[in-house]
Amino acid sequence: MARKERHVVPSSNGGWDSKRENAERASKHFERKEDAMQWSREKSNLEDSELIPHRKDGTIQNPDSNGNDPNPPKDKN
């Protein structure tokens, strides 16, 4: 079974978007990343999905599997 993902990504219009995996459009837009992370974390918990925040340059920053990762990392950061 493929894991579900929710991404917090920088918006081309400024601000931050919360998007489900492979989505064309954002679920919701935010001016601040902190607000996008809070809302996305709540949605991710409800969806039982992995939360994957991105930096301004688009690289991934500390994914959070909400304790449901079938292949957890061996290092404990």
**pTM metric for this prediction:** 0.80
- pLDDT classification of 3: cutoffs 50, 70, 90: confident
For residues 59 and 46, what is the distance between their CA atoms, to the nearest angstrom?
Answer: 25
Where b means 16+ CB within 10 Å and e means fewer, 5-39 reads bbbbbbeeeeebbbbbeeeeebeebbeebebbbeb
pLDDT per residue as tens digits for the range 18-50: 999 999 999 999 999 999 999 999 999 999 899
Q: Span 49-74, mean pLDDT?
A: 79
Q: Where are the domains of the chain?
A: 5-53
For residues 55 and 58, what is the distance between their CA atoms, to the nearest angstrom?
Answer: 5
* Residue 69 confidence (pLDDT): 57
